[in-house]
């Protein structure tokens, strides 16, 4: 008689769990890809932020939203079809203290870039956002759906 051996129940359980985790990750990734175009089509023409698209500029593979020498440095590009009136820098530190500051002279025309070094003490910092804004009816409208978020700022 031949001595047949099967797979250990422990190995089978580990393989099933790994398969379930991989399948779940694939489905979550797929669902976020589907959700993005739907939310972009739901903006109406009366929305002051329609046509606004702020993105990080790409410069030779180096980070363009980083921290160096006591300053937050960034380079952004207006990839939208509308002029951006300005950019607001928002930070939250480890003590949950929030800072919101409109950066002077940060308007960005369509297709143009804007760079800035913002003096900041990084100790304990946990969250940084760049929020584009536009003026409509003499009021600033902050385009939160187009903000750039960094929870960890890399070194430049």
Is the pTM above the cut of 0.85?
no
User: What are residue 39's phi and psi, to 5 degrees?
Assistant: -65, -30
Residue 155 lies in a domain: no
More reliable by pLDDT, 44 or 64: 64
pLDDT number for residue 17: 93
pLDDT number for residue 143: 92
pLDDT tens digits along 13-63: 888 899 899 888 888 777 665 544 444 444 445 788 889 999 888 888 776
Residue 110 lies in a domain: yes
71 and 20, same domain (yes or no)? no
Question: How far is residue 89's CA from residue 81's CA, in Å, rounded to a whole number?
Answer: 22
Question: How far is residue 40's CA from residue 82's CA, in Å, rounded to a whole number?
Answer: 15
Residue 3 lies in a domain: no
For residues 51, 54, 58, 63, the Cα torsion angle rounded to the nearest 10 degrees is -170
pLDDT number for residue 69: 82
32 and 74, same domain (yes or no)? no
Residue 45 lies in a domain: no
Taking CA atoms, 129 is separated from 42, 56, 105, 125, 136, in Å, by: 23, 12, 18, 12, 22
153 burial type by CB count under 10 A (0-12 exposed, 13-18 middle, 19+ buried): buried
Contact 147, 52 (CB under 8 A): no
Number of folded domains that form the chain: 2
Taking CA atoms, 7 is separated from 11, 17, 47, in Å, by: 7, 15, 60
**CA geometry: angle 53, 77, 69, nearest 5 deg:** 125
138 and 69, same domain (yes or no)? yes
Q: Which residues contact 103 (CB under 8 A, 6 or more apart)?
A: 86, 87, 88, 89, 116, 118
Taking CA atoms, 86 is separated from 54, 62, 73, 81, in Å, by: 11, 24, 16, 15
82 and 33, same domain (yes or no)? no
pLDDT tens digits along 75-132: 999 999 999 999 999 888 777 778 888 988 888 889 898 988 888 776 666 688 999 9
Listed residue (60, 128, 58, 117) closest to 93, CA to CA: 128
Q: What range does the domain containing 122 cover?
A: 54-150
Residue 2 lies in a domain: no
């Amino acid at each position: 008689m031949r001595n047949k051996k099967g797979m250990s129940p422990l190995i089978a359980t580990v393989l099933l769990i790994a398969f379930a985790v991989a399948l779940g990750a694939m489905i979550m990734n797929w669902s976020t890809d589907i959700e993005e175009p739907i939310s972009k089509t739901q903006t109406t023409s009366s929305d002051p932020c329609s046509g606004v698209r702020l993105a990080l500029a790409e410069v030779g593979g180096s980070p363009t939203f980083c921290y160096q020498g006591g300053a937050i440095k960034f380079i952004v590009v207006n990839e939208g079809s509308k002029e951006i009136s300005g950019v607001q820098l928002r930070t939250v530190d480890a003590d949950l203290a929030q800072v919101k500051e409109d950066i002077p002279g940060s308007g960005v025309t369509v297709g143009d870039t804007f760079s800035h070094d913002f003096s900041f003490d990084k100790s304990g910092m946990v969250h940084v956002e760049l929020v584009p804004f536009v003026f409509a009816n003499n009021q600033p409208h902050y385009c939160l759906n187009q903000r750039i978020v960094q929870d960890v700022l890399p070194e430049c």
